[in-house]
Every structure is written in structure tokens, then in C-alpha cells.
Structure 1
Amino acid sequence: MNQEILEDHLFLGRRDRQVLNLFWFGFILYTASYTISTTDTVNYNVFQTFQIIGIFIFVPTAIHLMSYTIKNSYLQVLYTLYLIWLLVIVIRGVEFNYDSIKFILFDAWFGVFLYLVPLFLFLPKKLICYKQLFDVIIILGVIYIIYDFVYIKELMRAGQDLQSQAIVEYFSKTLATPSLFLLLTYRYHTFRRRVFSIGILVITLFFAVVRARRGLLLMELLPLVLVYLLYLSNNSSKFFIVLMSIFLGGFLIMFGMELFNAEQDGLFGNLMDRGLEDTRSLVETCFYQDMSVKDWLIGRGLMGEYFCPGIDVNEVTGYRGTIETDYLQLILKGGLISLSLFLLITIPAIFKGLFNSNNLLSKAAAMWIIWALIIMYPSTIHTFTMQYILLWIAVGICYSKTIRNIPEQILVDYFRGSKNTHEIAEDLQNQT
């Protein structure tokens, strides 16, 4: 394999790099505008205009960028079926009226763009795309810090303030959570980026504790365990393993003691107030009672709802379009068919990434999929956000034999800027 072929296979040309920059700019504009609009403190028309601009940027550039080829025959069949089924879900739910169109275009969490996220599997399997992805995650983290600073009063309100809780959820899951992927791919980042990612994690944990968001706490803490497992698999130093064990153990003990000894008006007061409070049984019971056999099989479509009165503030009909358990959310919209296809695609990707790869990038991608599958019970992952986009990019990495076989040192040199494109191509050529 000569150098020109290697460069063409793993790197983008100048024009495509410009298109890639435009694509991510449109996505960031859409995401940042949506996130701040969830605070109910800004002019919706202004920020929805920004969202429209973002749509007009990222949609055509995405169409240009995507590489619509799948080499793995197993993935090709299941993924095609999955895309067809997602199209059925959208068609079944489309309503051509003003409110419906606004919802599907401007609601980043549950609108129509959610069902386009699996297309990120077609993102070119080229190193520049992943390097750019890391930069975008950093930018989202910076926006998260700015938003936290602007809305610090709302975030720190005393008691169980529903608006404050909502702001914490939207800010964290839309902007902060993707930084966890930087921790999983720690080898490819500078010391400053690692510290930045840890800082984002600490801030998110703080607000999760203050607002007693138990699902968010699990979402943010679980990657620490996954990072530790990656350290174990890639580091033969017993001293380092012991040191990491002591650090994590000490952290968990201190955290547990603080929870145990927390006073009602202390930092952990809200969390202790909730304790083991069961906030899911009622909605899950409503869901089970309202779903027919047909609904369990094929779901209720994009705008599907279930009857559960007395849960949401300012409810009118008693019907809800979301349920906090993401597995049931998938069933609500697309039935067991949707959930089964999703699992049949993602679970084999985990095994390929963990046990049939030569680099941390593939293993971290597999860990991200594991993280998503675990978090899908206490939280919502399937949204048009970077955390869900990362899942499908991770699936693409795990199914790509080319990416899985790249030696670790070559990826370290490339992502950290130690060598340029031509030097990396020469190293890859020497490896082959």
C-alpha cells in the first residue's frame, strides 16, 4: 500500500476539511441555541432563527461528507433494516401542522434530527474526522462553562426548583457529558485538555449533587470506572494500578461518607432528601398499562404518547411523549423491533472494539457504547446531542477493521501533533 493510497484512505483533502469545519459549526450553532432556549429566559424566535441557520449549514454539508459504504456484511444488513425502520417511525408520526413542525425541527432532544443520528455511522473513517471531533467536544465544554456562569443563580436555587433541575439536565447532557469521551481517550490529549475534561466533570458532579440528579450522577461517575479499566488493560505497572485503586477507592469512600453525614441544609441535602425515593414506578406502571401488544411490537411513532396523568407540571391531557427510561422510550416510539435492531448492532461492536483491536481509540469507542447501554436505564441517551452522536461514531470505529488495526503509537503521534500527515502515512506504510 503506497503513501498516496494511505493518505487518501485515512485523511481528508483541503476542500473536505473545510466542509467538515462548516458541518461542525452548524451543529454547534444549533446545539448551543437549543440549549440556552431550554432556560425559558430568552427570546425563542431569535434562537430558533439561529437553529434554522445551523440546520441549513449542517444538513447539506453532512450529505456531502458522508461515505455511504459499509464493508461488514452483518452490519450492512442490520443497519439497513434499522434505517428503514427509523424512517417508518418518522413517517408514522409526522403531522403537518405548525406546532408539530416546530417540535420536530427545534427540539434537539426528541425532534426529527434524533432519527438522523445513526447516519453518523457514515462519517468518513478518517483520522482528521476524529481529531476534529475532539475539538468540537472542547468547544461544547467551553460553552457549558459560559452558560453555567451566566445562569449560576438559577443553578444554585434552594430546594427542589423544577426549572433549576431542568437547566442542570439540559446543560449537562447536551454540552458537558461528551467531555467524558476525552477521558476515555486520555492518551491522545495534552495535559491541559485532560485537566479541562476533569474540570467539566467536577462542575457537572457538583450541580448534579446540588440538584439531586441521581441519574446524572451515575452518568458522570461511571466513565471513571471505565477509564480505570482501560488503564488496567493498557498499563502493566503494578504500582500505577495500586495507586489508581487507592485514588478511586478513597474518592468513593469520601463521597459515601459525605452522603451519609450530610445535613438537610448541606451540600448533599437535596440528594439525601430524595435518598432512595422511587420516582419511576408510577410512570412505568402507566406505560405498561397503556401499551397494547401491537404497541410493544411496533411502537407508536415519532409523536407517540402514553397516558400518565399527574406527573408533569401544567399538563393538559395527561399524555406524555417521553419516559425517563430510554429502553422504554425506544419501545414507545419504535417498539421492540427498534430496540432489538439497535442492540443487535451495538453489542457486537463492543466485542470487536474491546477484543479485536490494537489501539485505545477502538477500546474507548467500545467503552462508550457500554456506558450508553448502562445509562439507558436511568437516563435518556437517544437525543440529537453529541453524547448520542458519539455512540454511532463509536459503532463505526468498532466495525472498521482499518481503524482497529492502526498501531497505538501512530494514533498518539497524530492526535497530539507530534507528526504531520505525511509522516503518519509513512509510519502506516512501514507497518503494512
Structure 2
Amino acid sequence: MVIFWSCFAVYGICSAFTATYSTGMIKVIQVIQAVAILGIIYVVSSTAQFSVKNNFLRITLVLYVMYSIFILFHGYEYTYEFTKRLFFSSFIKYFFPLILLIPKNLKFYSRIFDVIIIYSVAFIFLNIIFADLVFVHYEKNINQKFAFEGFFKNLGITVAFLLFTYKYHSKNRILLALLVLLMIIGTSTFKARRAIMVLSTFHLLIFMVIFYLKSNYKLVMSGILALFIGVLAVYGPKFYKENKYTYFGELNERGTEDTRTGVEIAMARDFEPVDWVIGRGINGKYWCPNIDLNDTSGYRVMIETDYLNIILKGGVIYLGLILIMAIPAAFKAFFFSNNLLSKAAGIWIVLWILSLYPLNVFNTDLNHMLLWVCVGIGFSKDLRNMSDETIKESFSG
């Protein structure tokens, strides 16, 4: 599995680079990504065992894969440009659940955290290298709109999963992950990327709650938290008012601006009943002019509300297939487990589902792959019954 996760790490870092619009490097990046994708496909095809212990999961997984194949052929454009775009960005994500067929041990899960650490280091370096794109507001630089979001989506978001499972990791890893999460919160606040800011703040709060519940210093932590809340309550409003035209300027300007309703209404108007049921296929579009920059057709192939994005491609059938696997897994992982890894998996599944409204999380990235890893944990009774000591010992080894 070293090859699998190495290829996945390479693909994610390359995807983050594409968010900078460094077009001079795009051919080199695509060659590297192609090798990584082929490596992932090779490992899955050579190690997958077509047997799932849970009958419900086995039947649902077969239906999911069959329906994914239907989506790919429904609306497929037999052109070189479309095939190329599909290969590098969308194709592989429809088959992420096949990871459920790969035999897993604790070393498999430990590799995920190695990838998250690699991503954390890459996230910091890319934000420094491309600071001119990251820390400039949208009105001044069009490309910057996507740079930070690309870094967050491809590299930064999964750092919270490492924090949720802090008991298994060294202090250095925890400090690195915490630094990345604080960078995400700070940058997203400055850039007024509200969904990222809220989700990352929620990640931090969940980590604090988990750490508090597992800590032996609850009284000390309660005092520190009370002091922090008191300082924030007294000086926070003053700092915000004095800096609303600098650090908080963009956030203050956008406020509660609604950027979702318009595109949601446009999609609803353009959809027929059959579209809601089965979607419009891999290249599904809807009529929504005057939204995207440099738009000439008036049609959009994506929507910012991701549960509608899934419906756009595969209808409520596809969304339903995802949820009927994910929700029971989250329930089992959180309520019927003896270790922090399983409970964190349950939390992550719920967060991914909730993120379907404010963010695009159905992507070819580690966050989406981690969803299916967590689903596998939820349906694995053996893993759920392991002790924290057993898992930590294996991770350390």
C-alpha cells in the first residue's frame, strides 16, 4: 500500500499546484498526475478482493459501482479534450468506494496520516511560495480566487482528522497539524471564504472537545478556555472594529451575502423531474448565465452546493446510494466502538455529509477518499472493537 498512498500524495500535491494557474508547468504536472493515477488503478486492481462481509454494504456497493458506470456513459462527450479533462479531474473519484475491497490492516491506516503530514508541509510551502495569490483580494487578482481554495481542498482540510486522532501521534505531528489548521482559519477569515472559515473553526472546536474529554488536566484546560473566551469577548469587538478595513475588511464587506440561492434557483428552473431522479450524466449542465467569468455559453457544469452537484450528475439516486452507505457507517463507528480512531471516523463522515451544502467535497482528493476509508472503519467490527493501546502501538511501530 506504500505505492497506493505515495501515488495519492503525489496526485494531491500536483492538483494543488494546478490551482495556481501556473500554466507553464501544466504539461509536466499532468504527466506526473497520469503516472500517479495509473499507479492507483494498478494497486486497486491487483489487490482488491471482491468480497465484503456485510451483506447490506456488499449489495449497496455493487449498485453504486454500476450506477457510477451509468453516469460516466450518460452524457459522455467522445472528444479528446473532454476525455483528457475527465481523466485528470473527475473519472477516478466515482470509484473511490472500491477502496472498501482492499484488505486493510493498521499499517494501512497509519499511511493515511503519513500522507496528511506530507500534505501539511506542502500546504505551508505553497502558501508561502504563492503568497501573492493567496493574500490578495479577488478584485485585484482573478487567479487568487482559486489558489487558497485549491490548497485547502487538496492539502489542508484533512489535517483535522489527524487532530481528532491525536492520541496516536507524536507532539511534533500534532503541533504541525495545529499550525496548518490555524493558518487555514486565519487566511480564510482574511479572504472572507466563509464556508472554509466556519468548517475549520468547527474542526478546531471538535479537537478541543476531544482533547478535553481525554485529558487528565480538565481543570487547567477549563481555566485556559475561560480566560480565552473572556479576552475574546472584551477585546474581540474592539479589534474587529479597528481592523475591519484591513484584516477583516473583506469579511465585513461580504457579511451575510447570499452567493448560493441564485445558482440553486437557476438549476431548479432548468431541471425536469427525470433530471432530479437520474441526473444529467458526467457532463451534466444547467442554464445559469452571467455567473462565471469569461462565460460564453451560459451553461455551468458545476454548482457550489455539492449535494446539488451530485444530483446534477447522478440524480437523487446517486446521492441516496452515498448516504445509505455513509450514515449507518457513521452510526456504527461512533456509538459502537472502543477506540478514538473509529469515533473520529464517525465524526468525519458526518462532517463530510454536512459539508455537502457549503463546500464542494465530492472531489478527487484525500478528503473524499477519507470518507470511504471511514465508511470501511464503520462497517469493520474487528477494528471498532480494538483498543486505543493496540492501535497506538501499531502506529508507533
TM-score (ref. length: structure 2): 0.93
Tell me what 1:74 maps to. Answer: 56
Offset, 1:320:
0.6
In structure 2, relative to structure 1, the CA distance for the partners of 1:71 and 1:255 (3 Å cut) is farther
Tell me what 1:156 maps to. Answer: 135
Range moving further from structure 2, 291-300 or 88-97? 88-97
Of 37, 40, 52 in structure 1, the residue corresponding to residue 21 of structure 2 is 40
Distance in 1, matches of 2:235 and 2:295, equals 37
Of 198, 207, 219 in structure 1, the residue corresponding to residue 187 of structure 2 is 207
CA contact (8 A) 1:325 1:380 kept: yes
Range moving further from structure 2, 194-203 or 26-35? 26-35
In structure 2, relative to structure 1, the CA distance for the partners of 1:149 and 1:390 (3 Å cut) is same
Distance in 1, matches of 2:199 and 2:242, equals 22
CA contact (8 A) 2:286 2:299 kept: yes
Residue 367 of structure 2 is aligned to residue 387 of structure 1? yes
Offset, 1:382:
0.4
In structure 2, relative to structure 1, the CA distance for the partners of 1:382 and 1:158 (3 Å cut) is closer
Residue 324 of structure 2 is aligned to residue 344 of structure 1? yes
Distance in 2, matches of 1:371 and 1:105, equals 28
Tell me what 1:173 maps to. Answer: 153
> What letter is aligned with 1:387?
N
How many equivalent residue pairs?
395
Q: Give the 5 Å matches for 1:226-237.
A: 226-231=206-211, 234=214
CA contact (8 A) 1:72 1:399 kept: yes
Range moving further from structure 2, 27-36 or 245-254? 245-254
Offset, 1:238:
4.7
In structure 2, relative to structure 1, the CA distance for the partners of 1:307 and 1:252 (3 Å cut) is farther
CA contact (8 A) 2:137 2:144 kept: no
Deviations 1:53-103 (A, max 9, x none): 212222102222334321111212222212211111112132221111111
Tell me what 1:365 maps to. Answer: 345
> What letter is aligned with 2:142?
L
Tell me what 1:133 maps to. Answer: 112
CA contact (8 A) 2:99 2:373 kept: yes
Distance in 2, matches of 1:25 and 1:69, equals 25
Residue 13 of structure 2 is aligned to residue 28 of structure 1? no
Offset, 1:326:
1.0
Range moving further from structure 2, 202-211 or 238-247? 238-247
> What letter is aligned with 2:123?
Y
In structure 2, relative to structure 1, the CA distance for the partners of 1:318 and 1:78 (3 Å cut) is same
Distance in 2, matches of 1:79 and 1:250, equals 50
Offset, 1:200:
0.7
CA contact (8 A) 1:369 1:391 kept: yes
CA contact (8 A) 1:125 1:396 kept: no
In structure 2, relative to structure 1, the CA distance for the partners of 1:42 and 1:145 (3 Å cut) is farther
Offset, 1:357:
0.5
In structure 2, relative to structure 1, the CA distance for the partners of 1:61 and 1:222 (3 Å cut) is same
> What letter is aligned with 1:23?
F
Distance in 2, matches of 1:258 and 1:115, equals 48
CA contact (8 A) 1:36 1:42 kept: no
Range moving further from structure 2, 28-37 or 147-156? 28-37
Offset, 1:52:
1.4
Offset, 1:364:
0.4
Offset, 1:210:
2.0
> What letter is aligned with 2:337?
S
Distance in 2, matches of 1:22 and 1:389, equals 16
Q: Give the 5 Å matches for 1:76-155.
A: 76-107=58-89, 111-155=90-134
Offset, 1:306:
0.7
Percent of residue pairs bearing the same amino acid type: 33
Tell me what 1:310 maps to. Answer: 290
Q: CA RMSD in A?
A: 2.1
Residue 171 of structure 2 is aligned to residue 195 of structure 1? no
CA contact (8 A) 2:20 2:133 kept: no
Offset, 1:146:
1.7
Residue 266 of structure 2 is aligned to residue 286 of structure 1? yes
Distance in 2, matches of 1:335 and 1:258, equals 48
Deviations 1:303-357 (A, max 9, x none): 1011100100011111111111111111111111111111111111111011110
Tell me what 2:396 maps to. Answer: 416
> What letter is aligned with 2:76?
V
Tell me what 1:276 maps to. Answer: 256
Deviations 1:134-165 (A, max 9, x none): 10111111111221121011212245343212
> What letter is aligned with 1:84?
M
